[in-house]
Structure 1
Amino acid sequence: MKGDSKVIDKLNELLAGELTAMDQYFIHSRMYADWGLWKLYERIDHEFYDEKGHAADLIERILFLGGMPDMVTRTPIHVGKDVPSMLQYDLDLEYQVVTDVREVMAYCESVKDYVTRDILLKMLDDTEVDHAYWLEKQLGLIDRIGLENYQQSMMGTEPANG
């Protein structure tokens, strides 16, 4: 099916954001593992796979619309040096994704591409309700109980494949 070229371009822009998120979550999860913060490792590694799923959905839609997925373009990643900065960088990234997805959804509605809009709505829900909200809660916990107590609570047990 031949899709609107601007929708395809905008989906490729979203794809760059999802690939960037994958990269950022990947390095952060491995840093958490290296520090023995196994609960953070598991959660952020899970986020890596969620972003991979979002990227797959975008790639499939771009292909369906007759476009070529851009697997090269990335926005710069921000690698934190400590737990609070890592969580904040991840939250900032999720906030940007929310803004970008809403913009593309509005454009899709304007050209009556409701299927793409609905695909993006699922991604928006996952980003707002799961990813961003969880990150906000973690930063709130650090403020309430202190960084040392938070990090101790995130140690957990090393996963069997860790």
Structure 2
Amino acid sequence: MKGHQNIIDLLNKQLTLELTSMDQYLAHSKLYEDWGIEKLHQQLSHEYEEELDHAKQIIERILFLEGKPDTASRAPIHVGDNVEQMLKNDLAAEQVVAESLRNIMTVCEQQQDYVTRDMLQALLNDTETDHIYWLEQHLGLIDKIGIANYIQSQMSAGTPG
């Protein structure tokens, strides 16, 4: 089904954001793993997988609309030097993703592409209720209990293998 070129272009821009977030989560996850902060490593590995799923959905929609997915482009990633900075950088990236999703959904409404809008709404729900909420919650914990206590709380991920 031939889709509107402007929607395909916007989906490719969103794809770039999702792939960039995925790369940033991967980098942060591996840093947490290296530092022995296992709970954060596992959480960011989960976020990486979710970003990959978002990218797959967008690619599938672009292909359905007879567009060509741009899987090579990335925005600059912002790898932090410490836990708090990394969480803040991830939150900033997710806020950009959410704003972009809202903007594309508006264009979809104008072009009467309700299927793409609904797909993007599901991605927005996940971005806001899972990713952004979790990051805000954990940054709030740092404010409440301090960075040292927060890091200590994130070090163990359950029973040893």
Q: Where on the TM-score scale, by shorter chain, does this alignment land: which range?
A: over 0.9
Query: Following TM superposition, by how much is the alpha carbon of 1:157 offset from its aligned partner in structure 2, in angstroms?
Result: 3.9
Letter in 1 for 2:127: T
Listed as ranges, the gaps of 5+ residues in structure 2 are none
Q: Corresponding residue for 2:114? A: 114
Q: Corresponding residue for 1:77? A: 77
Counterpart mapping for 1:32-111 below 5 A: 32-111=32-111
Cα separation, 2, equivalents of 1:76 and 1:105: 24
Cα separation, 1, equivalents of 2:43 and 2:56: 20
Letter in 2 for 1:145: I
Moved runs in structure 1, 4+ residues, more than 3 A?
A: 157-160
Letter in 1 for 2:126: D
SS of the residue corresponding to residue 71 of structure 1 reads coil
Listed as ranges, the gaps of 5+ residues in structure 1 are none
Q: Corresponding residue for 1:145? A: 145
Q: Corresponding residue for 1:22? A: 22
SS of the residue corresponding to residue 104 of structure 2 reads helix
TM-score (norm 2): 0.98
Q: Percent of counterpart pairs with the same letter?
A: 53
Query: Following TM superposition, by how much is the alpha carbon of 1:72 offset from its aligned partner in structure 2, in angstroms?
Result: 1.1
Alpha carbons of structure 1 residues 118 and 37: separation in structure 2 relative to 1, 3 Å: same
Cα separation, 1, equivalents of 2:94 and 2:53: 15
Query: Following TM superposition, by how much is the alpha carbon of 1:119 offset from its aligned partner in structure 2, in angstroms?
Result: 0.2
The alignment status of 1:156 with 2:156, answered yes or no, reads: yes
SS of the residue corresponding to residue 67 of structure 1 reads coil
TM-score (norm 1): 0.97
Cα separation, 2, equivalents of 1:43 and 1:26: 11
SS of the residue corresponding to residue 78 of structure 1 reads coil
Letter in 1 for 2:66: G
